[in-house]
Copies of this chain bind each other. A is one copy, B any other.
Amino acid sequence: MSQRRLKVALLQHACSDEPAVNRKHIEALVREAAGNGAQLILLQELHNSRYFCQHEDSHLFDLAEPIPGPSTEWLAALAGELGCVIVGSLFEKRAPGIYHNTAVVLDSDGSLAGRYRKMHIPDDPGYYEKFYFTPGDLGFEPIDTSVGRLGVLVCWDQWFPEGARLMSLAGAELLLYPTAIGWDSRDTQDEQQRQLQAWQLSQRAHAVHNGLPVLSCNRTGLEPDPSGASPGAHFWGHSFVCGPQGELLAEAGEDAGILYAEISLERAEQVRRIWPYLRDRRIDAYAEILKRFRD
């Protein structure tokens, strides 16, 4: 680590149904963030398109692309030109019939530092991801970059302490979640608030449990359901950055925009010295975590 403080930027935005328009908008945001000194830029999940998993349509596999491919070339060129690390989120075409929800990390020298294929795949009304995405087969492996070792996970992963733990055990210095989560307008306001709060609680607790900062970048805006089966998805924004005690360093509302934060990579070690959870884990007694259910 050549630097112990890091300026990060999270790009929270709405998406149009025109990928070219989205890419142009993202590029402008990336340039603005880098111009303001961001060294690490986190994009939201599947930022190049609308969230197409609201319904199941086999034509939508046409949105997928290989990695490396056009989008990694585009983001790598930006990262290299601007001298920052960019974490993007793409619909990966690996082979006919094998597609992944894949995060990519472009290093500040313009190289593809690595990829992470979403391991936990959701499937619930309006989020039909099991149709589109083959579960990841690369495991929970952090990606080394010029700004540190990044534990990149994606959306649904954010609800699973196992993924966060495996990343921290592998030396991740921060966790990053590109995500796309929203409300169902048919739920009550109380339920919507509980969901938003649970979403933050879960991820802020990963920070606490593992003693490292967490960055979560969510999309915003209302996207209609092309099938007409639902009122659409109301992505709730509220991207945030928290420190290693789960303390909020920056938090967006629902509006689109760039969320900045400065994080200390030294503080994590200080926190782990007063709260040495990794020292005390009962690895002799955890074997049944590998079971589906202990019945």
Interface residues of chain A, those whose CB is within 8 Å of chain B, are 119-122, 124, 135, 139-140, 156, 159-163, 165-166, 169-171, 194-195, 197-198, 201-202, 204-206, 208-209, 245-247, 274-278, 280-283, 285-295
Given A169-B288, A204-B205, A197–B294 Cβ distance below 8 Å? no
- In the assembled complex, the Cα of A145 lies from the Cα of B209 at a distance in Å of 30
- In the assembled complex, the Cα of A246 lies from the Cα of B171 at a distance in Å of 28
Q: For the complex formed, measure the closest distance between the CB of A135 and the CB atoms of chain B, giving whole angstroms.
A: 7
Given A120-B280, A286-B290, A290-B287, A209–B246 Cβ distance below 8 Å? no
The answer to whether A159 touches B195 (Cβ under 8 A) is no
The answer to whether A285 touches B165 (Cβ under 8 A) is no
For A245, give its contact among B198, B291, B295 (CB under 8 Å): B198
- In the assembled complex, the Cα of A209 lies from the Cα of B162 at a distance in Å of 10
For A209, give its contact among B135, B140, B159, B292 (CB under 8 Å): B159
Question: Which residues of chain B are near A287, meaning CB under 8 Å?
Answer: 290
Given A122-B280, A294-B171, A161–B209 Cβ distance below 8 Å? yes
Q: Chain B CB within 10 Å — which of A194, A206, A285, A291 has the most?
A: A285
Q: For the complex formed, measure the closest distance between the CB of A235 and the CB atoms of chain B, giving whole angstroms.
A: 17
The answer to whether A289 touches B197 (Cβ under 8 A) is no
Q: Closest chain B residue to A210 by CB distance?
A: B161
Stoichiometry, copies per complex: 2
Q: Closest chain B residue to A199 by CB distance?
A: B208
Given A195-B245, A246-B197, A282-B119, A293–B169 Cβ distance below 8 Å? yes
Q: List 21 A-B contacts (CB under 8 A).
A: A119-B282, A120-B281, A160-B281, A161-B165, A162-B281, A162-B282, A165-B289, A166-B286, A166-B294, A171-B294, A194-B246, A197-B247, A198-B208, A202-B208, A202-B209, A205-B206, A278-B292, A283-B289, A286-B290, A289-B289, A290-B290
- In the assembled complex, the Cα of A292 lies from the Cα of B275 at a distance in Å of 16
The answer to whether A201 touches B286 (Cβ under 8 A) is no
The answer to whether B161 touches A161 (Cβ under 8 A) is yes
